[in-house]
Structure 1
């Protein structure tokens, strides 16, 4: 029984924190904020995605730098398609197709 209460409490706390972080921009009017603040907020998701993606492409599981692999090669068409189309679905499709093609050839 104590485990169930702990689990319910943990889920409720995670729900409250998630709700608060999502609702914060709606609760506070952001019209009078400085331009620098808005610029930082605009580029923050890009920085987070880059900090997750780049190490996954370049680092092996033991922490050493990897040579060229299928993930790095598949990232090239993704960047090209994303640059020209600005479409997430086309970028993902290009990455999947490139990764499948590379792994089948290699």
Structure 2
């Protein structure tokens, strides 16, 4: 699982796999390009999937806005309709359309 996987695909794919109870390890094995952010993003997505939104937010800390917006998009995928509406709004406003999935209002 290496061809066609960029940071956006990796995070959103891991979030979708987690949401559906699938193994996320193949995605995180490819996260080397994210260096120090990968463990924090993984914990963020896992907390979002568990409905622990405040805990998830704490994982992001002082992460740059673009990375935070991408994390929010992945958090929405992982948590579904339960995700905070602010996450959807931030992802839609900060990321270009090709950088994010369709996020219902």
- Which TM class, normalised by the smaller chain length? under 0.3
Q: Which has the larger radius of gyration?
A: 1
Query: Which structure's residues are more often helix, by fraction?
Result: 1
TM-score by length of 1: 0.25
TM-score by length of 2: 0.25
